[in-house]
Amino acid sequence: MSKFYGFILLAGALAAGGCGKEQSSTAAPAPAAAPAPAPAPAAQGTGHDGYLGTLVKGQQVAVKGIDTAALNQEIQLFNVQEGRLPKDLNELVTKQYLGKLPDPPAGMKINYDAVAGKVTVVPQ
């Protein structure tokens, strides 16, 4: 048992101290990248164009990713416990795997492939 602890101690010391070789910095530092240009300002009266539109679209993508991941997890849990994939997403609610189906982001719909057991969010 003491050999095991000695090995752990040795491994920790090597990890903390490295291999003892000093690294030389002979390579020239990488040149700094030029900053990305700022997005062009949106024309007035165009609604969600420009920066605000990017934020809204980013939120929709994030919500879409979170909802599909959670639904796919529940589908896999259903599959393990019931021995089959659900026929439709409403079966997740009726068998109490979900309280209710999540609402898709605006302009999107939830698509369930019962053969593969996968959920995607697609444009309407």
Report yes or no on whether pTM surpasses 0.85: no
Is residue 27 a contact partner of residue 19, using CB atoms and an 8 Å limit? no
pLDDT of residue 106: 83
Model pLDDT for residues 51-66, shown as the tens digit of each residue: 877 777 776 666 656 6
Q: CA 124 to CA 115: how far, in whole Å?
A: 21
Q: Which two structure tokens, joined as six digits, stand for 3?
A: 């050999």
pLDDT of residue 118: 94
**Helix-strand-coil split of the chain, %, nearest 5:** 45, 10, 45
